[in-house]
């Protein structure tokens, strides 16, 4: 395993973390035994960075992780998130200080630990000044319940305001070959302020693996059935894109997943992707990306490919995008 330092914290994290959302949420039915096997295999292979959130299964994912966390606490750098709250068969964003603290206590109880290594605001509440939300998060650091603070899907303005209240150690945002919005302003401000960048969905919800050719084969509860990347004209565009992408991966002697993750890793040593999976075989495949070298020539070739098929579709539906701080 190779390791990278998280921002200015000095913490050495595995070059790839493990996103745990799919074990309990969004990607079809849960398989507890396979998920636990995947978590244990990740630790065995040197992964020390696990990412969850109270949203994932509305607490179920944190409970799952606790079974691995408790006997291995000193081996794991644990990140979780707060900010979504159930309401009327859906959820809203809640960044009020009292919710921040109540959510942290609930997560600590489910995770069966005394401290969260990295605590993120999952989304920025548009009705609460970010300074108030981060102020409450800073109180958790003072109380010894949290070690470092992070934001997820935050704008440059929010990052700067938050960082002025308390150092922000990590920003988590979607980033992949098909989702590159952060390159214009978000990545530069993270680098200016010494904030580690944690890309989620480096496989673009799995579409760049070239394994999903028919959404009807996905589980009926898999949310990708309604995701813009997997529907309509965008899906037809993307099937052509990933077919050529798979050919490029084969030429490099790696899988499409490995090339996609390696491309993200190659964007900077301050970047620590957290590809998600709930299966051992995909975990092992993903970790192989660490050994794949992406050259400048490779980057240029991939840029040409993506430009050839520009209609990649929206990463979120309209409602979900409305919750992204921009």
Instruction: Give the residue-averaged pLDDT of 156-182.
Output: 97
Active-site hit among 27, 56, 119, 148: 56
Query: Does residue 56 have an active-site annotation?
Result: yes
Report the percent of the chain where pLDDT is more than 90.
80
What CA–CA distance (Å, rounded) separates 246 from 244?
5
Report yes or no: 207 and 242 within 8 Å, Cβ to Cβ.
yes
Checking if the pLDDT of 117 tops 80, the result is: yes
- Specify the CATH superfamily of domain 3-204+257-294: NADP-dependent oxidoreductase domain (3.20.20.100)
**pLDDT tens digits, 233-253:** 988 999 999 999 999 999 999
**pLDDT tens digits, 284-317:** 999 999 999 999 999 999 999 999 999 888 877 7
Report the percent of the chain where pLDDT is more than 70.
100
Q: 257: pLDDT confidence band, cut at 50, 70 and 90?
A: very high
Report yes or no: 117 and 17 within 8 Å, Cβ to Cβ.
no
- Within 8 A by CB and 6+ apart from 185, the residues are 156
Domain ranges of the chain: 3-204+257-294
Report yes or no: 313 and 238 within 8 Å, Cβ to Cβ.
yes
DSSP state string for 247-304: HHHHHHTS-HHHHHHHHHHTT-TTB----B-SSHHHHHHHHGGGG----HHHHHHHHH
């Amino acid at each position: 395993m190779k390791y990278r330092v998280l921002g200015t914290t000095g913490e050495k994290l595995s070059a790839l973390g493990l996103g745990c959302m799919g074990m309990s949420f969004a990607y079809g039915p849960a398989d507890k035994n396979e998920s636990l096997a995947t978590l244990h295999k990740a630790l065995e292979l040197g992964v020390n960075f696990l990412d969850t959130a109270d949203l994932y299964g509305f607490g179920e994912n944190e409970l799952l992780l606790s079974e691995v966390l408790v006997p291995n606490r000193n081996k794991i750098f644990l990140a979780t998130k707060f900010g979504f709250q159930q309401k009327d068969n859906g959820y809203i964003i809640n960044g009020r200080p009292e919710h921040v603290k109540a959510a942290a206590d609930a997560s600590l109880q489910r995770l069966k630990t005394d401290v969260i290594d990295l605590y993120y605001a999952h989304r920025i509440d548009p009705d609460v000044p970010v300074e108030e939300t981060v102020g409450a998060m800073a109180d958790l650091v003072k109380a010894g319940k949290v070690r470092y603070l992070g934001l997820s899907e935050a704008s440059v303005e929010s990052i700067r305001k938050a960082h002025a209240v308390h150092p922000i150690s990590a920003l988590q945002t979607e980033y992949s070959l098909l989702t590159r919005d952060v390159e214009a302003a978000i990545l530069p401000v993270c680098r200016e302020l010494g904030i580690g960048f944690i890309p989620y969905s480096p496989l673009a919800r799995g579409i760049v693996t070239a394994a999903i050719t028919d959404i009807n084969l996905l589980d009926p509860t898999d949310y990708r059935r309604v995701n813009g990347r997997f529907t309509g004209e965008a899906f037809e565009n993307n099937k052509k894109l990933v077919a050529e992408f798979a050919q490029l991966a084969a030429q490099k002697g790696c899988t499409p997943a490995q090339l996609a993750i390696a491309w993200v890793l190659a964007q900077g040593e301050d970047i620590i992707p957290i590809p998600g999976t709930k299966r051992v075989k995909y975990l092992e495949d993903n970790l192989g990306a660490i050994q794949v070298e992406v050259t400048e020539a490779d980057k240029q070739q991939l840029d040409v490919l993506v430009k050839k098929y520009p209609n990649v579709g929206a990463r979120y539906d309209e409602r979900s995008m409305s919750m992204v701080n921009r």
